[in-house]
A and B are shown apart, each in its own frame.
Chain A
Amino acid sequence: MTPDILLLCLASQLCLVTGQLLLKHAMTQTNLAPIPWWRVVRLFSLGIAILSGWFFLWGGLLQRKDLSYIYPCGGMGPALMLFGAWLFLKEKLTLQSCIGIGLISAGIALVSAS
């Protein structure tokens, strides 16, 4: 994999993770009373905008390379999500969840590459 393709893969997965983190943060706000609607709308809109970035980056990658070549990069998603959820949402991580997500990432890479 060339450095520019690797960089694009990483950027697309970072957009996916950031977008989902923002959506999660927005939806968690709806559990509060009263619901801070303005904050929810801002976070939600930003999340959707960044997820759109992921969509176009991913589409651009698929235009350049075969699906089977690019798709194993999707295995990075759960691992980056675990790290992002721990860092930004302060979600509690256990050794078991780290092992599980390692298995999922490996499985996705294998499903995609085969």
Chain B
Amino acid sequence: MALGGRQPRLHPYLQIIVAAFCVTAAELLFKRGAMATANDPAPLGIIGLSVLGSVWTWFGIVPYIASFLFWLNALRRVPLHVAFSIMSITQVLVPLGAWWFGSEHISPCRWVGVLIVLAGIFVVAGPAMKAEEQL
């Protein structure tokens, strides 16, 4: 079968990075929503439905949907193991966001983990991106 489909406007690797930033924004907004409703009565026990009472939670759903759409579009072009590895950057962005915006403490051990994840992403994605540029 012939290959068809339009070329994406945004580079597929960039779409994965955008998806990762969207997930990070969503997680931070969910955290804010959870904190805003922490003392509200929970209608269904431990399920945590009361977080839906915060506008921040609803703001968080929007970037989550955007992230899913960017992710799906990127999957059309990028090998899954490379895409999934790049998406691991959320493991770096979420703690950084929590530290920057939420003033959460990050232990030295966690910083080391963040650096190891970053190194791994560069090792996987670097050659794949170079190979694509040469095509």
Contact = CB atoms under 8 A, between A and B. Distances in A.
Interface of A: 20-21, 23-24, 27-28, 30-35, 63, 77-78, 81-82, 84-86, 89, 91-94, 96-97, 99-112, 114
Contacts of B3: 31-33
A107 B4 contact: no
B80 A110 contact: no
Contacts of B77: 31
Interface in B14-59: 46
Q: Is the interface of A mostly helix, strand, loop or mixed?
A: helix
B113 A97 contact: no
Interface of B: 1-5, 46, 72-73, 75-77, 79-85, 88, 91, 95, 107, 109-110, 112-125, 127-128
A100 B129 CA distance: 14
Contacts of A109: 113
Contact of B124 (A21, A34, A100): A100
A63 B46 contact: yes
B88 A85 contact: no
Contacts of A110: 109-110, 112-113, 116
Contact of A33 (B5, B116, B122): B5
B3 to A, nearest CB: 6
A101 B81 contact: yes
Contacts of A100: 85, 120-125
Contacts of A96: 123-124, 127
A97 B4 contact: no
A18 to B, nearest CB: 12
